[in-house]
């Protein structure tokens, strides 16, 4: 079973890219996080964050693969799903907790 994960960036990437969240999925979360944190994940947002020295925090995980990742991405509500930005996020229904 893969893991869908939400990264929270300590500050916005830039004035043009104010999102502070990245949603991804992986079969090996530990390895994937290491790639993000060392700028080797090939994912644009975490790589830019790494290059700018912006801290990224694993905010939340779900059990699920690409389908769940796509479903959550389509909701465009990273901020509402993020327990760091929204303490009530974990109480929200709609996604299965790990
Ligand atoms: Zn957040």
Round the average pLDDT of the chain to a whole number and report it: 90
Global pTM reads 0.87
Q: Provide the pLDDT for residue 98.
A: 46
Mean pLDDT within 37-62: 95
Does 97 reside within a domain?
Answer: no
Rounded distance from Cα 49 to ligand 1 centre (Å) = 14
pLDDT for residue 69 is more than 90: yes
Rounded distance from Cα 58 to ligand 1 centre (Å) = 9
What residue has token string 């830019």? 48
Distance in angstroms (rounded) separating the CA atoms of residues 20 and 31: 21
Rounded distance from Cα 72 to ligand 1 centre (Å) = 14
Domain count, the chain: 1
Rounded distance from Cα 12 to ligand 1 centre (Å) = 10
The single-letter DSSP state of residue 75 is T
Which residue range is the domain that position 77 belongs to?
3-91
Does 73 reside within a domain?
Answer: yes
Confidence of residue 78 (pLDDT cuts 50, 70, 90): confident
Does 84 reside within a domain?
Answer: yes
Rounded distance from Cα 73 to ligand 1 centre (Å) = 14
Distance in angstroms (rounded) separating the CA atoms of residues 13 and 4: 22
């Amino acid at each position: 079973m893969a893991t869908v994960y939400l990264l929270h960036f300590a500050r916005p990437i830039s004035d043009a890219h104010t999102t502070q969240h990245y949603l991804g999925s992986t079969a090996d979360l530990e390895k994937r996080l290491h790639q993000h944190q060392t700028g080797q994940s090939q994912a644009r947002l975490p790589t830019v964050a790494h290059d700018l020295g912006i801290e990224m925090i694993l905010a939340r995980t779900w059990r699920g693969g690409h389908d769940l990742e796509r479903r959550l991405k389509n909701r465009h509500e990273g901020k509402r799903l993020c327990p760091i930005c929204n303490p009530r996020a974990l109480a929200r229904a709609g996604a299965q907790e790990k």
